Structure 1
Amino acid sequence: MSTIVHIVCTDPAHGVNAWLQRWAIAHAHDAQVHILRDAREAVGGDFLFLVSCHQIIGADVRARYRHTLVLHASALPAGRGMSPHVWQILEGRGGFTLTMLEAVDALDAGRIWHQIEVEVPPNAVCLEINERLFDAELTLMDWALDNAATVQPREQHGEPSYYRKRGPADSRLDPERPLAEQFDLLRVSDPERYPAHFEYRGRRYRLRLEPMES
C-alpha cells in the first residue's frame, strides 16, 4: 500500500504551489499525494505537511495522521512566527535555517525533525530567494519520507523569539533615503502580494526589482 501524503497550503496563489505540484508528480510512484486548501479536507493518512498554511491545525486533525509536520524558515526556537526568512534577510543575514518540526498546539513549538541551511546571495531578489526556500522545503519533505522510521525528534531548547506578520506597510520605501540603504527591503518585497512602493508628490508608486543580466 502506498504512503498517503496530504499537504495543506491555504493560499492557491502562493508561489510554492508549483513546487508542491512538481513534488506530487515526482512521488506518484510511491505515494498518494494530495494538495489541500483547507484543513477540513484533511481526512487522514500517513503524513500531513503544513506548507504556507495559515490555519490552526487542531489535535483532532493531527490525530488522523501518523505525522503532522511544519516547515519553518528559522533556527527554532529563535524566529517563531510569520515570514521569518524575510525578517532575517532584513536583519542583514546571508541566509537562514529551514526547520521541519512536529505540529503542536503552541505556535512553532514542536519537536524538531531535521534542519538544513539555506544560503541567500546578497544580490538575490524575491523570486530567487523563494526558489531557494521552496527547493529546500521539498528536500525536507523527501527527508521526512525517507527517515520517518528512524528519526529521533529533539525538543527545542533556549528562549524563543517571535516575528510578527508582515503587511503592505512593511514594503514601503522612503524616497528621501538612498536606494542602497533600502535595497534589502526592495529585494524581499513580494512583487505580487506585498509590492515595494513609495509615496511622492501626492501619489503612490509601485517598484518591481528585476535583475538585468548582461
Structure 2
Amino acid sequence: MDQVLNVSGEYCLENNSITVLVDNDSWIIPYAHHLVQALKKKGFDAEFVDSADKVYPGWVNFILGCTRIIRSEVLQRNQHNLVVHESDLPKGRGFAPMAWQILEGKRSIPICLIEATDEVDAGDIWLSDVIELDGTELCDEWRSLQGQKTVELCLKFVSAYPTLKPVKQQGGEPSYYSRRIPADSRLDVDKSLREQFNLFRIVDNERYPAYFEMEGRVYTVQLFKVESKSGD
C-alpha cells in the first residue's frame, strides 16, 4: 500500500483498512476485539471478522488463533497477512506452540509476527519478542500474557511500519507441533503431581480438563491457584 506524508510530516496510508480474523471460538477473541478498538483509536478502519470469507480488501489482515488454512485468494485481498506465532521459528511451527513449550518446561517463550504464506508458519518475520514465565502460571494466566503480547506486536507493526524490514526464518530444518487433542490431557496415575505439574498448567479446566483412568472409570481433575492473603 502506498504511503504518503500528512501535514504533520507523519506517514499515512492511501488505504488504512485492517481486518482482525479469528475463525473459531478461541480464547483470544476478547484480545482481538481489544486490538480492533485500539486500531480504531489510532484512526484505522478496523473490523473483527469470524470467517476468512468475510475478510475484505485492505492494508493488513491480522490472523489470530485461526485453525483453518487461509486460501490464497483470501491472502491476496490485503497487502499484508500477519500471524502471531509463539516459537523460535523455523522450530515449533504448527499448533499450540505455547502450550507444547510449557509442557517441555520452557519459561522464555519466543513470540513473533510473521507474514502468512501458503506454507504454514513459513513466512518472513516482521517483529519478535519473548514471553517470560515464572513456571507457576496456569492456563488463564499465561494466556493473558500471550494475548497482551499479541496485541502489543500488532500495534507495534502499524506504528513502526515504515521502519520495519522483514527477515527470513533461519536456523536449519523446521520442526512442527501437532494439534492438541483431548487425549493429550491424560494424567499418568503412576507419576507424581510434581512430574505432571506442567501438564496441569496447560489444560483448560472447562474445555479439555486433565483426567485419569482408574478401574475402568474416567475422572477429571481441575486445578486452581489459591492466592494467599497478606498475613496468612
Q: Same fold (TM over 0.5)?
A: yes
| Structure 1 CA distance for aligned equivalents of residues 57 and 207 of structure 2 | 32
CA deviation string 1:112-170 (max 9, x = no partner): 10100001121110100100100110011011111222211111112211111110000
| Structure 2 CA distance for aligned equivalents of residues 32 and 61 of structure 1 | 18
| Structure 1 CA distance for aligned equivalents of residues 71 and 215 of structure 2 | 49
Superposed displacement of residue 174, structure 1 = 1.3
| Structure 2 CA distance for aligned equivalents of residues 130 and 96 of structure 1 | 12
Corresponding position of 1:20: 32
Superposed displacement of residue 208, structure 1 = 1.4
Corresponding position of 1:161: 175
| Structure 2 CA distance for aligned equivalents of residues 149 and 130 of structure 1 | 30
The share of aligned pairs that are identical, in percent, is 35
- Describe how 1:19-38 pairs up with structure 2 within 5 A: 19-29=31-41, 30-38=43-51
Q: Which amino acid aligns with 1:141?
A: C
| Structure 1 CA distance for aligned equivalents of residues 95 and 154 of structure 2 | 20
| Structure 1 CA distance for aligned equivalents of residues 83 and 124 of structure 2 | 10
Return 5+ residue gaps in structure 1 as ranges: none
Judge conservation of contact 2:19–2:47 (CA < 8 Å) in 1: yes
Matched, 1:128 2:128: no
The number of aligned residues is 213
Corresponding position of 2:189: 175
| Structure 1 CA distance for aligned equivalents of residues 162 and 74 of structure 2 | 21
| Structure 2 CA distance for aligned equivalents of residues 83 and 10 of structure 1 | 15
Superposed displacement of residue 2, structure 1 = 7.1
Corresponding position of 1:84: 97
Corresponding position of 1:117: 130
Q: Secondary structure at the match of 1:135?
A: helix
Judge conservation of contact 2:32–2:64 (CA < 8 Å) in 1: no
Q: Which of the numbers 151, 162, 167 marks the counterpart of 1:149? A: 162
CA RMSD of aligned residues (A): 1.4
Corresponding position of 1:199: 213
CA deviation string 1:57-78 (max 9, x = no partner): 1222111112111111101001
Return 5+ residue gaps in structure 2 as ranges: 1-13
Which deviates the most, 96-105 or 55-64? 55-64
Judge conservation of contact 1:8–1:48 (CA < 8 Å) in 2: yes
Q: Which amino acid aligns with 2:192?
A: P
Q: Secondary structure at the match of 1:187?
A: helix
Corresponding position of 1:108: 121
Matched, 1:140 2:153: yes
Superposed displacement of residue 95, structure 1 = 2.5
Q: Secondary structure at the match of 2:187?
A: coil
Q: Which of the numbers 54, 67, 72 marks the counterpart of 2:80? A: 67
| Structure 2 CA distance for aligned equivalents of residues 174 and 186 of structure 1 | 12
